[in-house]
Amino acid sequence: MNRKRFFILLLYLVLLLPLVVSGAIQALQTNANSPIDWVSAEFPAKRVYAEFRQQFGPGDVVVMSWPGCTVDEARLDPLMVSLRQSKAFHSPELEPYFERVACGREEVLKLTADPMFLSETEARARLQGALLGSDGHQTCVVVTFNELGLADRSRIVPLLKRAAVKFCGARPGELRLAGPVIDGLTVDDASQRSMKAFAPLSNVVVLVLCWLCLDSVPAALLVFGVSVFCQGLTLAIIHYCGDKMSALLIVMPPLIQVLAVAGGIHLVNYYFDTARGSGQRGAVDRALRMGWLPCALSSATTAIGLGSLLVSGLLPVRAFGGYAAIGVLVTLAVLLTIIPGALQLRPIAPPALPADGGRLKWERLVDWLHGRHLAVALGAVALMAVMTIGAARINTSVRIETLFQPQSPILQDYAWLEQQIGPLVPIEVVLTYDSRSSRPLPERLRLVHDVDAAIKAMPRVGSVLSAVDFLPPELADPHVPESPEEAGLQQAMLEASQEAVVAANYLHTTGRHEHWRVTGFVSALDDVDYGRFLEDVRAKVEPLLPAGGAGPNGVTAAYTGIMPLVHEIQRQLLRDLFVSFLSAFVVIAIVMTLVQAGFLAGLAAMIPNVFPTLLLFGALGWIQFPMDIGSVMTASVALGIAVDDTLHFLTFFRNQLAAGRSRRDAVLEACRHCGKAMMHTTLICGLGMMTLSYAEFLPTARFAWMMMALLVIALAGDLIVLPALLLGPVGRLFEGSSSPAGHLPAPAVGAPRPAAQSVPKELTTS
């Protein structure tokens, strides 16, 4: 590399550095996590839920309670006034942060006052399981956030807690909070803590591994420094593109770093090898000529694997795939410019190599495989077939209990609230009448009553709220009037009571439609298939609907809720797993057929790359381990990374064939020259990511350990399955497409330089 050009490039990077640092810091300070935001507005289940929110307001609630939060607690009254009127819960422009604020004490007082005049016993009975516990005393405060409140939830939720302590004397350690707002905030906090706790540890691990693999402090610092810059540059790209970090994106910076380190180690070892063989003069140019193509191909396949996630229907998965693919390509550009330029400016003496480069252990492995290549190859294919069946049994989950450890505070709060109050997950049914409907109001209410009763009779339903719970006793169970006079009286009483139902948010009217809401509550922690449960609700309700559909004399029903929406997201996760992996496989297979100059050879080269994914996901499918949003991404990412080692191995193998070696000797030389590189790459990528396996947010932790498992299995695929295939009949596919000897890459990471008689001279020069 020309020194003058490098100095100019260095100047640009120095000028760019403040923007990179500022952008990276800003990216790390922002977090946005909500399952509802994982899908676009066009997602069918989200469209239905969005319509429900337009009619009855948002479902972003905080349910808060504590020991002593009872219907008889008079101090709840000033708390409710504060939540509605205090400036602390309003924006600087005095816009409220909350859509609605409710508690069981207020609702009991309303039901026992004019015009309801229920007895206190009946009032409490109606609210049990929703706003009151089974004892009729324990209650809760339900705060519904609007868009302004959600944008500032990290500040407002602590204020909610302080208000409960101030006005009601609640003990801070006894406050219990749950709901979608708390779910998202807990994920935010967990991801922030993970970044602060594990990012420094990951950097230390990566730096130590660089030093161990390169056996040179200056080289380790060079590679590590470049990796940190690539990490910061990718974070800055996220910020300047106007996006925010999420719990999934926090695994991307360490992923970019370990990939940068792996590529940097390859380049530095190309340099060390040429410097040992031909001297340091011109070593950088020779190393760059030999190393740029394998590095570019491996980065391209990794970017393809990551880019395949762009086909996902989930926004955070698409963001991860897109930004990570950009980060990989930017990293390639930085590696191929900064590392050669730095080595040109200040050469680093290559470390000494041991006399014996471990040839004996590789000979033993190759000899063992040579005598058993057919059994190993057939065994691997049979194992892949069995695991393919297991992979078809994979199920996905984004339920709250799959996101956090069982002993986590949020799950303990959910358990306490469900034990003291009742199930917390609302399942919504909305009955919609056309405003031109000729059906009288009592008939409409009778349908609401029948739907209420049908849902209440279903297993797993803890309680139901509907319009009938906010009507006087004589109207709560509407009967068919026996005379026109009674019908008129019933109609008049219902019209007079409609205001109370609207105030309770269980009736919404527009110019053209009238929407009646029925809410059933089921557990957030029980093993409930919410998608199937919603279908069961539909099966109970549909037979009750009168004929006529959406016309003037008919009624339509919509079925929704946050957890049914989450269920559809789970189904989308499963589709994404298949589609993204298939997309990556097809594109990488095309690349491999071009690189290997043969269709069958390219497909054969894909066997060790799909081997790790099928093994791990098949095993998880057989044991019914639930996949989450973090797990889904690993398949395509690991496929792209695994191809890196395969490309290096096959490139050396084919060049050895072109030099006239037998397939057995070509496999041996490929193992000798690439085996150590593969182990180092696996070690760095795996252990660098494994620091995140202790993250509180389980999808992040699962991503880390699954990546480690996939890379270890991929190493076995490339050092056992691939050599077994090449030693057998499959290896003949590569004999006719061997590349010219002059394109042989330098020996791989840490591999000893072969003796003069073991590799022809023309194969050791550029």
Task: Answer for the pair 766, 634: CB distance below 8 angstroms, yes or no.
Answer: no
What 3-state DSSP class applies to 466? strand
User: Ranked by mean pLDDT, which of 31-35, 171-175, 346-350, 355-359 comes out on top?
Assistant: 171-175
Last residue of one domain, picked from the residues 560, 581, 608? 560
Task: Answer for the pair 270, 745: CB distance below 8 angstroms, yes or no.
Answer: yes
Q: Are residues 554 and 629 in the same domain?
A: no
More confident residue, 688 or 389: 389
Q: What is the mean pLDDT of the chain?
A: 84
Per DSSP bridges, beta strands 141-145 and 61-65 are: antiparallel
Instruction: Read off the pLDDT band of 740 (50, 70, 90).
Output: very low
Instruction: Read off the pLDDT band of 750 (50, 70, 90).
Output: very low
Q: Give CA–CA dist 571/561, Å, rounded.
A: 16
Instruction: Read off the pLDDT band of 753 (50, 70, 90).
Output: very low
Supply the CATH number for residue 297's domain: 1.20.1640.10
Write the pLDDT tens digit of every residue in 525-536.
Answer: 887 888 888 999
Q: Are residues 367 and 285 in the same domain?
A: yes
Instruction: Give the least confident one: 229-238, 315-324, 744-753.
Output: 744-753
Task: Answer for the pair 632, 613: CB distance below 8 angstroms, yes or no.
Answer: no
Q: Are residues 276 and 227 in the same domain?
A: yes
Q: Are residues 299 and 229 in the same domain?
A: yes
Q: Are residues 662 and 745 in the same domain?
A: yes
Mean predicted confidence (pLDDT) in 299-328: 85
Is 36 a member of any domain? no
In sequence order, what are the residues at sequence separation of 6 or more whose Cβ sits closer than 8 angstroms to the Cβ of residue 224? Answer: 203, 206, 207, 210, 261
Is 416 a member of any domain? no
Residue 415: pLDDT above 90?
yes
Is 703 a member of any domain? yes
Write the pLDDT tens digit of every residue in 136-185.
Answer: 999 999 999 998 998 899 899 999 999 999 999 999 999 999 998 998 88
Q: Where are the beta strands (DSSP E) in 510-551?
A: 513-522
5, burial (CB in 10 Å: exposed 0-12, middle 13-18, buried 19+): exposed
Mean predicted confidence (pLDDT) in 114-137: 90
Instruction: Read off the pLDDT band of 737 (50, 70, 90).
Output: low
Write the pLDDT tens digit of every residue in 445-488.
Answer: 889 999 999 999 998 899 999 998 988 877 766 666 656 666 67
Angle ∠(447,450,453) on CA atoms, nearest 5: 150
pLDDT of residue 741: 38
Last residue of one domain, picked from the residues 178, 213, 238? 178
pLDDT of residue 66: 97
User: Ranked by mean pLDDT, which of 698-702, 708-712, 735-739, 742-746 comes out on top?
Assistant: 708-712
Instruction: Read off the pLDDT band of 749 (50, 70, 90).
Output: very low
In which domain, by residue range, is 436 found? 425-522+529-560
pLDDT of residue 747: 40
Is 45 a member of any domain? no
pLDDT of residue 765: 32
Nearest to 711 by CA among 652, 647, 653, 643: 643
Write the pLDDT tens digit of every residue in 376-385.
Answer: 999 999 999 9
Write the pLDDT tens digit of every residue in 68-103.
Answer: 999 999 999 999 999 999 999 999 999 999 999 999
Quick one: DSSP state of residue 748?
A: -
What is the secondary structure of 257-313 as a DSSP string?
A: HHHHHHHHHHHHHHHHHHHHHH-STTHHHHHHHHHHHHHHHHHHHHHHHHHGGGG-S
pLDDT of residue 175: 96
Q: Are residues 514 and 657 in the same domain?
A: no
Q: Are residues 215 and 315 in the same domain?
A: yes
Q: Give CA–CA dist 49/568, Å, rounded.
A: 12
Write the pLDDT tens digit of every residue in 513-569.
Answer: 889 999 999 998 887 888 888 999 999 999 998 865 555 567 899 999 888 887 787
Write the pLDDT tens digit of every residue in 651-694.
Answer: 888 888 888 889 999 999 888 877 877 888 788 878 887 888 88
Residue 751: pLDDT above 60?
no
pLDDT of residue 596: 75
Is 418 a member of any domain? no
Mean predicted confidence (pLDDT) in 492-502: 80
By percentage, how much of the chain surpasses pLDDT 90? 34
Mean predicted confidence (pLDDT) in 583-594: 82
Q: Are residues 315 and 213 in the same domain?
A: yes
pLDDT of residue 303: 87
Instruction: Read off the pLDDT band of 210 (50, 70, 90).
Output: confident
pLDDT of residue 275: 87
What is the secondary structure of 2-29 as a DSSP string?
A: -HHHHHHHHHHHHHHHHHHHHHHHHHHH
Which secondary structure element, helix H or strand E, spans residue 509, and what is its range?
strand 507-509
Q: Are residues 277 and 250 in the same domain?
A: yes
Long-range contacts of the stretch 593-598 (C-beta < 8 A, 24+): 595/297, 595/647, 595/650, 596/650, 596/654, 596/734, 596/737, 597/737, 597/739, 598/733, 598/734, 598/736, 598/737
Supply the CATH number for residue 80's domain: 3.30.70
Instruction: Give the least confident one: 2-16, 24-38, 442-456, 601-615.
Output: 24-38
By percentage, how much of the chain surpasses pLDDT 70? 89
Amino acid at 86: S
pLDDT of residue 764: 34
- Total count of domains within the chain: 3
Residue 327: pLDDT above 50?
yes
What 3-state DSSP class applies to 425? strand
Is 79 a member of any domain? yes
pTM of the predicted protein model: 0.78
Q: Give CA–CA dist 424/524, Å, rounded.
A: 6
Q: Are residues 556 and 573 in the same domain?
A: no
Is 410 a member of any domain? no
Nearest to 316 by CA among 626, 36, 59: 36
pLDDT of residue 279: 81
Q: Are residues 305 and 454 in the same domain?
A: no
What 3-state DSSP class applies to 461? coil
User: Ranked by mean pLDDT, which of 158-162, 248-252, 478-482, 619-623 comes out on top?
Assistant: 158-162
Q: Give CA–CA dist 756/216, Å, rounded.
A: 26
Instruction: Give the least confident one: 242-251, 269-278, 741-750.
Output: 741-750
Is 3 a member of any domain? no
Q: Are residues 456 and 571 in the same domain?
A: no
Task: Answer for the pair 615, 712: CB distance below 8 angstroms, yes or no.
Answer: no
